[in-house]
Amino acid sequence: MAAKTNPTASELAILSVLWRRGPSTVREIHTECEGEHGTGYTSVLKLMQIMTEKGLVKRDEKERAHVYRAALKQEATQKRMVGDLLDRVFGGSAAQLAMRALSTRKASREEIAQIRELLDRMEGEKK
């Protein structure tokens, strides 16, 4: 089942743990989230249940401690959320989104090089 909605901030925190660690139990996710957000175990468990219903995570019930994994890869989730932001806030203009992002936070030399490489590649595809 595909995710029905974009993840909330709390759901993204859990997905970040799953993308970083791979399949994990609620206890493992709680251990990582507790230090960062002070989230209780039962709150993480309830959120994981909701995320399963939304199609954001998948649950393996073979073992006593259920193991969860992200239903979508990080890149696919980012792409979906950026597309939504692009449409809702920037009227579909990728240029406005990119300019706003770059004017809001300073990009590192490495990030600027990656952006140039992407633009060069995109320009080469148009020829």
Q: Report CA-CA distances (Å) from 5 to 28, 80, 83, 94.
A: 25, 10, 13, 22
Is 2 within 8 Å of 51 (Cβ atoms)? Answer: no
Which pLDDT score, from 0 to 100, does residue 64 have? Answer: 77
Which stretches of the chain drop beneath a pLDDT of 70? 1-4, 35-37, 127
How many other C-beta atoms can be found within 10 angstroms of the C-beta atom of residue 77?
Answer: 20
Which pLDDT score, from 0 to 100, does residue 111 have? Answer: 93
Which pLDDT score, from 0 to 100, does residue 127 have? Answer: 61
Which pLDDT score, from 0 to 100, does residue 36 have? Answer: 67
pTM for the whole structure: 0.80
The C-alpha R_g of the chain, in whole angstroms, comes to 18
Is 41 within 8 Å of 27 (Cβ atoms)? Answer: yes
Is 56 within 8 Å of 95 (Cβ atoms)? Answer: no
